[in-house]
Structures are given as C-alpha cells and as structure tokens.
Structure 1
Amino acid sequence: MALLGEALEELRRQSFTGRDAEVAQFREAVRGPGVTFVHGPGGVGKTMLLDVFARVAVEAGRRPVRVDARHLTLGADALPTPVDADRPALFIDTYELLEPVDDWVRDTYLPSLPGDCPVVIAGRQPPRPRWRADPAWRVLTRVIALGNLPADDARAYLSAQDVPVAMHERLLAISGGHPLTLSMLSDAVRRGVTPRTLADLPDVVGALIANLVDEAPSPRHRAALEVCAHVPATTEDLLRDMIGGDVGEVFAWLRGRPFVDECPYGLYPHDVVRAALDADLRWRDPARYSDMLRRKLTVFLDRVLATPHEQTRLDLLAHTVVLNASRSHIAALSELPPSLRAYADGLREGDRASILEMTAAWQGAAQADLVAHWLDRRPEAFRAFRGATGDLCGYTACLQVTEADLGADPGVDAMWQYVSKHGAPRPGEAVRIWRFFLDREHGQRPSPSLTLFVACQMLDIIQLGGDRGWSLVSAFEDPERWTPAMEFLDFWPATAADFTVGGSRYPVFAHDWRRAGITEWATAMHARQLGAPARPPGDGIEAPVLSECEFGDAVRAALRQLHAPDLLRQSPLLDSRMIRRNTRPGTPAVRTLRELVEAGVAALEPADRELLTRTFLRPDTTQERVAAALHLSFNTYRRHRDRAVTRLAAWLWAHEIGDPGC
C-alpha cells in the first residue's frame, strides 16, 4: 500500500513548473563535492526546488539527507553526519536560522562530510562575505539567486492548477510570478473569487505577510517596511523625514531583508512584498494608511523639487507613476509599464523627420503638418523619448501659448476660446497645452514612452510656477479610455474645446490652477487614492476669476469691511488664488485675508503704512480726525489715502498672479 507521503510527493511533482536552468546547474553539481547555495525571499519556491534536487540526486545514485533548520531544537550539533558508504547528498533548508553558527557550519561541519558529498543550502540570505573571501570555498560554492517565475512558467503553473486561461494575465499581474502568491490566488479562484488586486483577499495578504516578511523587531522597523513599500526607492534621509529620529540602524536592518533590493536611488522591495504590505496596512489601519500617504506625498514632492537634474526627477516620477498606477482600478493607469531604460531628452539632429514620419503614420498628414508648424515655431517645447541606445522611440510637446499663436492650429484655437470663456488668462498668467504625444511602435497604447509622458505631466504640475493659469491636455485620441484617468488627476473634460484634425476627434482635458491650486490638487489626489469622497474635477469652474480692475475694487471694499465680519465673509477675494495659496489647514479664509492685508500694509512706505493703519487696520476715530492728526487737509488726506490703497492693491495683485518679484 502506498504511503500518504508518496501521494503528496507525486502531487507536488506534478505541480512543479519551470526552473530548468537551476535544475540543469544542479545536475552538474551532484556529480561531485561542493555547495550549491540557493537564496531568495519567502515563498519563492526554495523548498519545492530542493524537492526536485533531491529527485535528481536519487537519479544520480545518491541518498538524499534532508534537514530543515526549523526542526533543529538541540542546536548546531544536531546536524546529521552522513556516512560515506551511502553516497549521500545533503540538503539544508531554512538556513537563515543557522546564520548565528554560519562560521561553524562553513569551517567545521561541512569539511567533516564525506569528500564527494554534494551539499545544497537554501535560505533567504545570500552567502555571507566569508564564503567568497575564502579562495577554496569560492571555487566549490555555486550560488543560485531564486527569483519569481518567468511569465511562460507561471502560465504553465496556472494551467496545471486548472485556472481558466482568461484569468491568467490578471493573476500574473497581481502576483508578478511569485510562486506562493500564484498558489494562493489559484486557491482563491477555485473558491469562486475573482480578485482584482491583493487587497481583495485579506486572508491571502495575511498569509503572505507572515511568510514573506520577517517579524519586525519594533514598531519603527515595521513603519520603515511600510514606507519602503510606498515610495519608489528608500534612502536614509527620506526614511528620516517619514519616521523621524536616528534611522541608521533601521535602514541597515531594512537593507538586510532578503526581499529588499538596491538601485541607484535607494532600497526597494520586491513587487509582491509591496502589494502585500500596502494591502495589509490599508485593511488593518486605514487611519495610519491615510496619514502615511499624506506625509509621503509631501516628502516626495520636496525630494523631487530638491533633485537638481531633470532626468533624475523624471526617473523618480516614472517609478512613482508605475508604482501608484499598479494599485489603480483605472485601466489607462494600471497598464502603464515601467520606463525601463527609456528617457526624455531634447531634440537632436534628425529627430524632426522621424517625428513627422511617425505622426503621419499614426495620425495622418494633417496632424503631421501641425507638428511641423510647432517644431519650427517652438522646438524647445518638444521632448524626445529615447531607448537605451539613444534611438528616438516617441515624443511629446507642451506648448505655452498666447493670443499671438492663434490661427494656425485648430486645436490651440479651440482651447484658447474655451479658456477665454471660462476664465481668460490675466496679465502674466500662462496657458500650457500638452498638444502632442506618440510612441513610434505603439502609438498611444501602453509603452515606456507613455509612462514618460505621464511622468512629464506630473513633473510639470509639481514645478508649477506662480504664473500658471491653465493646463490643458489634448494629446489623446481615446476619450473613453482616458477620461477616468484624467479626472483622477483632477483634469475635467472640456468638451466645448474638443476639436477635429484629419477626421480624428481629440478630447480636451483642463485644469484652472487659479481656482484649484496645488494644495487643492494634492488634497483631491490623496482622497481619490484612498477611495474617499473628493470634490468633482472642475468643481468651482464657475467661480469668478477677478480681473485686475475687479480685484482692486474688491480690495477697497475689503478694507472698509475689515471690522464687519459678516460683510467680509462675502468678499470675492476669499475665492482668489492669493487666499487659497496662503491659507493654512484649519485657518479660516477671512483670517488669511486679514493677514495678507496687514502684510501688504507693512510692506508699504512709512507714510502710506501709517495712513492705512490709522484709517482701516486700527481705526479709533473718524477719517476727518485722522487727517487732522496727520496735519493734512481732508482733500489732501483722501488723495494720499487713495494712492496708498492703490499701492496696497498692486502689492496684493502681485501675489494673486504670482509675480516672482513680490
């Protein structure tokens, strides 16, 4: 009668897929002495691979000796002593538990084994430096870094588990090919669940957290893990900004985790660990999750702005776009691929012909003619997207337009007419239009170029100058696909500005930064990331945008109403860009207005400052008596008063339109 263990072994054998290169490497190693060191994060399939290696050892006429360090309760001396006559092959699993006696294993235990005994060690960490420092062990040690299953092997595994083919790509996207995650997702499918993300399966997330992530030694270590899961790359300074205090020891601990890798920008965890940590914290502690996202946004924006080179800023943003998009339910965002080694660049010689050729091929001759017009008129507005070899793979153009640019491009004409109707740019305010985007091979379908294009738009928002009036996007051709994504980014469909070129209709998306500045934008983005209620994109589009003359009249009225709160609360200045930009969280807009008026008065010449203070800020008598106290006739006083008010209005107007000299 067959044993239950034999049946289990056969089922495991049938479900095993892939790892052909690793098995071939062990077939060579099993012929003689030496150590094969297999390392990788939890759930990546080390134990399953050791099962296969054991069968290979049997085929080679050897007797497998299996040891799992989790079961060694008597200390290191409980390790077995294989007998030479048995032609043994030794397999040690969960070796990370034996790391305290690693020197003894390497220098004493392994040298005592039979001379031709192959050894396989499997653990979460790679061999310690002393294995590589010893020239003898360096020759006799083979290292296998075990990663996730390649896509074809992962599909083969899902087929072996009878998962419907229609679900393969979704499960691959969720798991990234991580074997344990694939196994748990397959089980969920068998239970009738159709997961969209790991967040749909709290039980799976809990199991992955327990298996993948070592127990953090303190709340600060756990917080560091959660930060690492939510930023593209973690450095000591970023960790210090996020969790505070001395983070040297915590960062070193994080760096030593087997599921954490390094890149030029810092540390980052494996994708499945990111997803599991994100889903776990969001489910377990929604309030802390929300707070961390808010702090992360502030810290990350500061970090981007402090980065000196635009290429590095774009790299950071491209990583962030892909990371955040992978958690999105919006198809246009969730399908954005990594930018790989693609990068944004200025135009080079020969780019013009390539850009026009790809535009004509994808969007027709009429659109190509418009691209040619702007290449001649605004070449600095174009960014070229290049692959690793420097070849042009796509492009975009962001035009800053004025009324002088009208008449050549029906798209620009339509958008200018829209902004003129809904809030014409005031003197010094810019209108920027993302007018073109294409990838040479993929058009506007997912590509590294598309990811870079989105990153360029995000960088443009982050680097908003005080002079920005409008941003518009008219580069996309598919409104059904891109409307949800653009609304998530707080750009509303400006359907009245949609236009047609060469038979193709281009939707327009708009954002007026005077009505919803960077603070409101960040607040709305944060709420939408959490799935919390957020103001609709375009909310407040009907709020007036004051002209300079209207603004001056509102300042004069506000001065008269400074000590009449009910009247001041009706001031149109409270909806102004100046107030939104300077209002602190929790501070009433009326208080901000008073503070700005006082700051403006303080910035004036002494005579004007005294006159406005006595008349409006701290009036304690009539204006006639103020004139007498200043030794002025009343007519002269009124002339000086009106001149001082005009100067104050000019100071406040400079803050309204973002004059950098104010």
Structure 2
Amino acid sequence: MPSRLANRLASARRTRFVGRSGEIELFQSALTAAESLFQILYLYGPGGIGKTSLLREFGARAEERGIPAYYLDGRNLQPTPDSFQNALRAALGVASDAALETVLSNMTARYVLLLDTYEVWSGLDNWLREEFLPQLSENALVAMAGREPLSPGWQADAGWQMLVRQIPLRNLSPEEGRNFLERRAIPVEQHRTVLDFTHGYPLALSLVADLFDQRHDLSFQPETAPDVIKILLERFVQKVPGPAHRAAFEACAMVRVLNESVLAAMLKLPDPTAEKSEETIGAQSTHELFEWLRGLSFIEAGREGLFPHDLARETLIADVRWRNPDWYKELHQRARKYYVTRLPQASLPEQHRILYDFIFLHRDNPVMRAMFDFTDAVILPVAMHETDKPALFELIEQYEGIESAKWAKKWFARQPDKVIVYRNERNELLGVFALVEMQNAAEAELLADPATRAAWNYLKKHAPLRAGEIAAHYRFWMARETYQDVSAVQTQIFLTTVRYQLLTPGLAFHFFPCANPDFWAPALLYGDLTRLPDADYTVGGKTFGVYGHDWRVRPPLAWLELLAQREVAANPEAVAPPPETPLIVLSQTEFSSAVHDALRDFARPMRLRDNALNCSRMVVERVGPAASSDERMSALQNLLGEVIAAPQVSPREAKLYRAVEYTYLKPAMTQEQAAEELDMPFSTYRRHLKAGLLRVVDALWQKEIGAGRRGRYNENLKMSKK
C-alpha cells in the first residue's frame, strides 16, 4: 500500500509538471554521455521557482532509464556531516553503521544524487566540497538546488570550475504558464489575468489554481486573494528587521527602479547627497536601507538602480494596496512628486527616463498595462538629420501611402526641429514622431494638408487660439516593425508627447491622430483626451480618428492631479474629471478688460469674487481645480500683487509699476493723492499709470498662456537638442 501511494503521488506530480525543457535536456545529456562535461548540476532561484519539482523530474527521468536516483532534502536534516551521512545511508538502503566511503566506491553503475534546499547546508558547504563530493566515483551525477548561487569557494577552485554547471531558474514562459493552467482546468478567459499577476512563477500559478479548485466561479484578482499574497510574501521575505525596512521594499515595488535619492524622497529621509546634521545622525539612513534591499534574494541590481523580481513586485503591491490603501496612495504621491520636481531640470535623455518612471506608476491600471510596453529596451530619441529623411519617407509610405509621404516631405522641410527619430544602441532606425505647430505655418499650408485642415477648422470653430498660444498636431507617429500597435517604441513616442505637453511654453491645444482610434480609446480617454470626430481626416484612402486636449481648460497641473487620482483609484475609469467650475478661456481683449476690473475691485471682495479671472488658467494652476471661490479670489489678489511688486530692470520701469500700486493696491488714495505721494505731476502720473497697466496686463497674459509658467524650461530644451 505505501508503495502504491508513493507511485500515485509521483504520477500526480509529473502530470502537473510543465516546462524546463532546456534544463531537462542538459541533465539527460549528462546522464547518458560516455564522458560528461560536468559532474555537478547546480540549480538556484528564489523559493517557489520550482527547484524541488525539477529535481524530482530529474529523478524520474533517470529511473525511466534504469538509473537509480537518491534524494536528500536539507530541510529534513541537521546541517552536520553525521546527519547527512545517516540520511544518505537510509536512502541507499544500507546499514546505519555501514562505511559510507566503501559503499560509494563499490557503486560501479551509473546513479544520481539529488540534494535539495542546499541553502540550509551552508555550514556543510566546505565539508561537502572538500571531503564528501570528491570521494564519489565518476559514475555519480549530482544535481543540487538552492536559493543562492554557490559560494565563492567553488569559483576559486579551478578543478570544480570545470566540473560544475550552475543554472539560474527563471519563471515559466507565457506558453508554459498557459500549458500549466490548461492542465489545471483553469477557464481560458482567466488565463491573461492569472499570467499577468504570476509572471509564470510556479508557486503562484499553483496557489491560484488551488483557488479555482475551491471556487469554480472565481474571477481572480490579486486583491481578492490575501491568503495567496501572504504565502508568497513569506517566500520572498522571511524576516523584516523593522518598519523602515518594510517601507523600503514597499517603495522599491512601487517604482520602476530605485536609487538612494528616490528612496529618500519616498520615505522622507534626509537627502543622501547632503551633509549629515545633528538631527539626522543616528537615524535610519537611506544608505543602510538601500544596502539591505540590495542583499535580498528577490531584488536585482541594474544600471539605474534596484528593482524586484516581477512577481515579488506584484505581490508586494497587492499586499500593501489591500492591507494599507492610504499608505499605498501616499507612496505613489511621493514618487510622483519626486519625478515632477526633477523633470524640468533634467537633460533630454534623462527626461525620457523620468517620464518612463512616471508612466510606470500607472502600470497597475489594466488600461495602461495593456497599452504600454514596459520592457527595458534601449531606445534613444534623437533629432532628425538630413540623412534620415529617405528612410523616414519610405517608412511612412510603407504604412500610410504615397500621399502621406508627400505631406511628410513638406512638413519635415517646413518644421524639421519638430521631428524626433528613435534608434537603438546600434543606431538602427526604430521609429519616428513628427508634429506640426500650426500657429507657425501659413494658413494656406494648413488648409492644403487634409490633416491640419481638419484640425485648423476645428480650432477656429470650437477653440480659437489666442495671441502667443500654440496648437500642435501629432501628424506622424509610428514604429518601424509595429506601426501604431503597442510596442516599446510606441511607449517612447507617448513619453515624447507627454514631455512636449508638460514643457512647451504656451501650448494651448494638441491633436492626436490614430489609424485605429477605437483600439487606443481606453488609453487616450484615461489620459483625458477627447474624441474629436470633426478633426478626423482621410489621406490616400486611409482614415484617421483624432483625439485632442485643450490645455487651457485643463492645464498640466490639473491634468497631473486627475491622472494621480486615476492612478490609485480602485476603479480608475470611474474617476471623472473634477466637476468644479470649468476654466474660462478668455481672448486677449477680454483678459485685458478682466485685469482692469480686478485691479479696480482689488479691495472689494464681493465684486472681485465674480471676476472672470478667478476661472482663468493662471489662477486654477495656482490653487488647483477643487479650490473654493474664496481661495481663487485670494490667489488672484496674490498674482496681481506679485506682478506689481516684482523687481524691475530699471528705475523708470519701477515708477510705472508704482503708479499702478498706489492707484489700485492703496485704494484709500485718490489719483491726485497718488500723484502727490509719488512726487510727480498729475499728467506724468496718468502717463505712468497707463504704461504700467499695459505691462501688468502683459505679464499676467504671459502667465495665462503658459509662457510665464513654462518659459523657464526654454533654455533647458535648447540644451537638450544640442
């Protein structure tokens, strides 16, 4: 009976075993070779990766060929030579007092020794390497498995270097994962969700499959399976020294890559680049936490910083989101703030990395996960050179036809600095993004191209540009291999558009055309773009659906706040734009009149509260879209005061602003009294007041159209293009 039960158990295990064909082929080649290239095959990887299952499969493959296999598990033994030898005698079926060296030397036929959970035998490592294993005959093939690579002693020994083959075990491939789920009878419609969470990690696949065995009507979501998360966490992190360490690996899971600066920002620790103060000496340092993270088995180090294994990341995020949703939101907010603060000062390549990190924060959203490729591919955005044009025109003609290529030639010649080319490390062309800034083109040019004609007519009818404002049409965007499908290149193109939108002074509107607008609808609507059928166009028989965004109605700061809410919401699609009072897009004449009214009513709150500037872009950007009417009014007063009190370049300029200040910000005075206080003739005062008002209106207008807010990035953008 025990034998029959053991056979059934082994058969059940093998029925559910999938994948690992490369490792099995390597083992079998060593098993059957007349002279094997190695004597020891060592497998390593984190707990739950399938090391034990693979060792058992090795044993089964050996016994199918009539070769005996003996299995020892370190979890069942004391880490001493005596315990190890006693267990091996029992596995070999010899007497407990038999001389093991003699027994092994008499084993002239081929056999396999399987040593599992090698990490618990760390105290035996020297003894096994230097005493036990060398006494085995050449007929023995040893397969061992542990969580960590072999100790340096193995690498330092020239003899063992030739006889040992080390193999890191990875997750199952998507195809192998689907094979496993099919064997466990998991509904096909659930495969994508399960594979997205588990990333092919064998233990996670088994745990989720067990859930389906218990509940056949299950619709799997990680947050609804806390027991699975708990088991996985225990596999990854067996002991956490303290709350700061737990917060550190939670922070590491949130971001794409973690360095000490990001860690300090997310945990509000002292800046690691600053000198230590009396307050920070003795506190848990950023460096200490970072080094602790680096030592964890499920944390990997890359060229940009630390990052967890995929499943470890998913598990940690699911756990903190379920266990402490407020802390989850707080970590996201701190990471987002760090990236937004760093963006303006960064170089062009670094800006793309920062935006990539920023978009990565949205990866938990199923819409964004499906529409972005977060693979760590090296894709470099560079300015177009004249020698690039033939290949670019050929690429555009390939996907969009001869007529589109004709328009590309015209726009590339007209606005060459608005073309970005994407290349890999070998300088191979990967894709292109080209926009048209319509305010810089002649109206005849805009009306000739079907794409810009539709957009220009839309603007004139629905959202007229004001003086100094920019409207951009993302005229051409595509990857060489995948056109406008989801890819790593498409992801970089989208990052380019975000960078442009956040850093371009005076941007009022942008149009985003898509060859397949329905496919991109979830992602673009998530990003607060609106479908604009009136801006659709057809070129060469190919029709493009167009989306757009009015940056005067929802400026960058309000847009970032909306994305932040969707980023951490349980149901991001349900987070609608805020219902607060919408922005008012004033013409330059209307804006000037509103400034005059605001100055006249500066000290009359009841009247100032109704001023149109309270719903202007410059006010909403300062206080946020959810601000009350009193908060907006206070912000408007502060803006007026700041512009009037700003340092001037000359004494004459200062006199002009002082005339405005004494007239409107000191309303107890009459104009005659203001002139007397300023010590100037009344006619001179009136002339200064008129000129000062023009300057105040112009300064505020620059803020309104975005030049005042984003103009400080101009020099950085110029440097990025060099």
**Superposition deviation, residue 548 in structure 1:** 2.9
Match of 1:653 among 674, 686, 701: 701
Deviation at residue 351 of structure 1 after TM alignment:
4.3
Kindly provide the amino acid, as one letter, of the partner of residue 298 in structure 1: K
Alpha-carbon displacement from aligned partner over 1:527-576 (angstroms, at most 9, x marks no partner)? 11223677745978974322333222222211222222222221221222
1:145 and 2:168 correspond: yes
Post-superposition shift, 1:128? 3.1
| CA pair 429-592 structure 1, distance change in 2 beyond 3 A | same
RMSD (Å) for aligned C-alpha atoms: 3.4
The superposition leaves residues 359-409 of structure 1 with CA deviations (integer Å, 9 ceiling, x where unpaired) of 334333333332232233233322333456544343221222225142221
Equivalence for 1:64: 70
| Aligned residue number for residue 375 of structure 1 | 412
**2:261 matched to 1:237?**
yes
Whole-Å separation in 2 of the counterparts to 1:427 and 1:153: 59
CA contact (8 A) 2:67 2:112 kept: no
* Partner residue in 1 for 2:590: 550
Conservation of the 8 A alpha-carbon contact between 1:487 and 1:537:
no
Per-residue deviation at 1:35? 4.0
| 2:549 alignment partner, SS class | strand
Q: CA separation of 1:363/1:60 partners in 2, compared to 1, >3 Å: closer, same or farther?
A: same
Q: Which runs of 5+ in 1 are unaligned?
A: none
**Which sits farther off after the overlay, 512-521 or 494-503?**
494-503
CA displacement at 1:290 relative to structure 2 = 0.9
Distance in 1 (alpha carbons) for counterparts of 2:210 and 2:505:
54
Q: 1:126 to 1:155 in 2, by over 3 A?
A: same
AA paired with 1:646?
Answer: L
Shift, 1:526, TM fit: 1.1
Q: In the superposition, relative to structure 1, how do residues 495 and 35 fare at CA in structure 2: closer, same or farther (>3 Å)?
A: same
- SS of structure 2 residue aligned to 1:508: strand
Give me the whole-angstrom Cα distance separating, in 1, the residues matched to 2:454 and 2:659: 48
Is contact 1:327–1:334 with CA below 8 Å preserved after alignment? no
Secondary structure, aligned partner of 1:79: helix
Take 1:377 and 1:643, find their aligned partners in 2: how far apart are those partners?
38
User: Which of 46-55 and 156-165 deviates more?
Assistant: 156-165
The one-letter code of the counterpart of 2:594 is A
Q: Verify the 8 A CA contact 2:367 2:523 in the aligned structure 1.
A: yes
Per-residue deviation at 1:307?
4.2
Kept in 2: contact 1:318–1:338 (CA 8 A)? no
Instruction: Pick from 317, 321, 339 the counterpart of residue 300 of structure 1.
Output: 339
Identity rate, percent? 30
Letter of the structure 2 residue corresponding to residue 25 of structure 1? L
Report deviation, 1:297. 1.3
Q: Tell me how far apart the structure 1 counterparts of residues 680 and 348 of structure 2 sit (CA, whole Å).
A: 58
Q: For the structure 1 residues 614 and 388, does the alpha-carbon distance in structure 2 shift closer, same or farther, using more than 3 Å as the test?
A: closer
Contact (CA 8 Å) 2:332, 2:361: kept in 1 or not? no
Q: What's 2:91 paired with?
A: none
Show the 5 A alignment for 1:277-356.
277-310=316-349, 312-314=350-352, 317-318=355-356, 321=359, 323=360, 326-330=363-367, 333-334=370-371, 336=373, 338=375, 340-347=377-384, 351-356=388-393
| One-letter amino acid of the structure 2 residue matched with residue 375 of structure 1 | F
Tell me, in whole angstroms, the C-alpha distance in 2 between the residues paired with 1:424 and 1:334.
Answer: 32
Contact 1:67 1:79 in 2 (8 A): no
Q: C-alpha distance in 1, partners of 2:407/2:249?
A: 49
Number of residue pairs matched? 656
1:161 corresponds in structure 2 to: 184
Q: Deviations over 1:162-192 (max 9, x none)?
A: 3355554554343322212222333344433
Contact kept, 8 Å, 2:44 with 2:51, in 1: the verdict is yes
TM-score normalised by structure 1 residue count: 0.88
| 3-state SS in 1 of match to 2:447 | coil
1:504 aligns with 2:542: yes
**8 Å contact from structure 1 (residues 400, 431) kept in 2:** yes
For the pair 1:528 / 2:566, whether they are aligned, the reply is yes
Query: Following TM superposition, by how much is the alpha carbon of 1:648 offset from its aligned partner in structure 2, in angstroms?
Result: 2.3
CA distance in 2, matches of 1:384, 1:636: 57
Which residue number in structure 2 is paired with residue 8 of structure 1?
9
Change (3 A) 1:102 1:239: farther
Shift in alpha-carbon separation, 1:439–1:170, aligned structure 2, 3 A: same
Q: In the alignment, residue 429 of structure 1 is paired with which amino acid?
A: E
Say if 1:377 and 1:106 are closer, same or farther in 2 by CA, change over 3 A: farther
Counterpart check, 1:454 vs 2:460: no
Label 1:586 to 1:295 Cα distance change in 2 as closer, same or farther (>3 A): farther
Give the secondary-structure state (helix, strand or coil) at the position aligned to 1:125: coil
Give the aligned partner of residue 315 of structure 2: 276
Distance 2:81 2:241 in 1: 24
1:174 is matched with which residue? Answer: 197
**Superimposed CA distance per residue, residues 117-150 of structure 1 (whole angstroms, 9 cap, x where no aligned partner):** 6544322222233332333333333211000112
2:720 aligned partner: none
Equivalent residues of 1:226, 1:277 under 8 A apart = yes
Comparing 328-337 and 488-497, the one that deviates more:
328-337
2:518 to 480, 489, 503: 480
Contact 1:332-1:482 at 8 Å conserved across structures: no
1:280: how far off?
Answer: 1.6
Task: Work out the CA distance in 1 between the residues paired with 2:597 and 2:352.
Answer: 46
Q: Secondary structure at the match of 1:37?
A: strand
Matched, 1:593 2:636: yes
Checking the alignment, whether the CA contact within 8 Å between 2:437 and 2:471 is kept in structure 1 is yes
Q: In the TM superposition, what whole-angstrom CA distance separates every residue of 1:313-370 from its partner, at most 9, and x where no partner exists?
A: 435645764x456533328844646363444344456643443344334333333332
In the alignment, what sits opposite 1:392?
A: 429
Between 554-563 and 205-214, report the one with greater CA deviation.
205-214
1:248 pairs with one of 287, 297, 308: 287
Correspondence for 2:449 among 380, 404, 409: 409
Kindly provide the amino acid, as one letter, of the partner of residue 252 in structure 1. Answer: E
TM-superposed deviation, 1:469: 1.8
Task: Measure the CA separation in 1 of the matches of 2:528 and 2:81.
Answer: 60
Residue type of the alignment partner of 1:68 = G
One-letter amino acid matched to 2:645 = A
Q: Distance in 2 between matches of 1:339 and 1:544?
A: 42
The one-letter code sitting in structure 2 at the alignment partner of 1:258 is: S
CA distance in 2, matches of 1:239, 1:332: 24
Q: d(CA) in 1 for partners of 2:699 and 2:486? A: 47
CA separation of 1:349/1:41 partners in 2, compared to 1, >3 Å: closer, same or farther? farther
When normalised by structure 2's length, the TM-score is 0.81
* Aligned partners of 2:79 and 2:121 also within 8 Å: no
What letter is aligned with 1:225? Answer: F
Bigger CA drift: 254-263 or 86-95? 86-95
User: 2:244 matched to 1:220?
Assistant: yes
1:431 equivalent among 467, 471, 474 = 471
DSSP 3-state at the match of 2:148: coil
What is the alpha-carbon distance in structure 1 between the residues aligned to residue 639 and residue 488 of structure 2? 45
Matched residue type, 1:148: N
In 1: Cα distance, 2:462 partner to 2:575 partner:
19
Residues 1:552 and 1:410: Cα distance change in structure 2 (over 3 Å)? same
- Partner secondary structure for residue 438 of structure 1: strand
- Decide which of 493, 514, 517 is 2:555's aligned counterpart: 517
Q: Which amino acid aligns with 1:456?
A: T
Does the aligned pair in 2 maintain the 1:42–1:213 contact within 8 Å? no
Deviation at 1:456, TM superposition (A): 2.0
- Aligned partners of 1:305, 1:607: CA distance in 2, in Å? 34
CA distance 1:429–1:28, change in 2 (3 Å): same
**2:60 alignment counterpart:** 55
1:77 to partner: Cα distance: 6.1
SS in 1 for 2:366: coil
Summarize the alignment of residues 123-142 of structure 1 with structure 2, pairs less than 5 Å apart: 123-142=146-165
> Match of 2:437, SS?
strand
Output the amino acid matched with 1:529.
E
Q: How far off is 1:586 after superposition?
A: 7.2
**AA matched with 1:206:** K
Alignment gaps of 5+ in structure 2 = 89-99, 271-284, 715-722
After superposition, give the CA deviation of every residue in 1:221-266 in whole Å (9 maximum; x if it has no partner).
Answer: 2222222222221112221222224222221221222222222211
CA distance in 1, matches of 2:287, 2:664: 55
